[in-house]
Amino acid sequence: MQKRISTLPFKGTAEQKSKLDAVIAEHKSQPGAVMPVLQKAQDIYGYLPIEVQEMIADGLGVSLEKVYGVSTFYSQFALSPKGKYNISVCLGTACYVKGSGALLDKLVEELKIQPEECTSDGQFSLTACRCIGACGLAPVLTVNDDVYGRLLPKDIPDIIAKYRQ
């Protein structure tokens, strides 16, 4: 799946920047530094928007396209921020045959975002994941660390309401 690029405004802090600068300085002379720096940048910012990737490209003396190419190749890198509550729908085999695809569709409809996106108020983000090992509860979704199982699409609005402020 093509990664979703965040359209939300970048809210990086000076503190985050100085942390990233230190990471870049640490890896600058090392061949193949893009991967480890992207990993640590994601730890610092939670995701890898263009502003962060430009800092990495400038800092390491490589092109922005090279950084972006790596960030879109590996599934571990996110180009969109996570919300305060990240809703993750299992699309593993068991959940999928039990109808988790419909859960995801309902979430897209209710939250008005696509998978890999975050709502503009920063409250919710949506991801699709593979098996989380709770097949007995299929279909399942998680909201941060809370697990919800044996769901139908009509259960979704109540779950969202529980977290919405």
Partner 1 sequence: MDMVNIKINGVAVSVPQGSTILEAARYAGIEIPTLCYLKKINAIGACRICVVEVKGARSLVAACVYPVNEGMEVFTNTPAVRNSRKTTLELLLSNHDKKCLSCVRSGNCELQKLCNDYGVDENKFDGAMTPSEIDDSAAHLVRNNKKCILCRRCVAACREQFVNVIGANARGFDTNIGCAFEKKLADVPCISCGQCIVACPTGALTEKDQIDEVFAAIADPKKHVVVHTAPSVRVTLGESFGMPIGSNVEGKMAAALRRLGFDKVFDTDFGADLTIMEEANEFVERVKNGGVLPMITSCSPGWVKFCETYYPDFIPNLSTCKSPQQMEGATIKTYYAQKNGIDPKDIVCVSIMPCTAKKFEVGRDNQSAAGVPDVDIALTTRELARMIERAGINFSLLPDEKFDSILGDSTGAAVIFGTSGGVMEAALRTAADWLEGKDLPSVDYHEVRGMADVKEATYKVAGMDVNVAVTSGLSNVAKLLDAVRAGEKNYHFIEVMCCPGGCINGGGQPIQPATVRNFVDVKGLRSKALYDADKDMPLRKSHQNPSIQKVYDEFYGKPGSHKAHECLHTSYVERKKY
Q: Which residues bind partner 1 (CB under 8 A)?
A: 1-3, 5, 50, 53-54, 62-69, 72-73
Q: Which is nearer to partner 1, 5 or 147 (CB)?
A: 5
- Between CA 75 and CA 130 the distance in angstroms is 12
Shortest Å, Cβ 43 to partner 1: 21
Shortest Å, Cβ 115 to partner 1: 15
Q: Which is nearer to partner 1, 2 or 165 (CB)?
A: 2
Single out the residue of 52, 44, 90 nearest to residue 71, CA to CA.
Answer: 52
- Residue located via tokens 């920047």: 17
Q: Which is nearer to partner 1, 34 or 151 (CB)?
A: 34
Single out the residue of 104, 116, 94 nearest to residue 141, CA to CA.
Answer: 104
Q: How far is CA 34 from the centre of its chain?
A: 19
Shortest Å, Cβ 129 to partner 1: 18
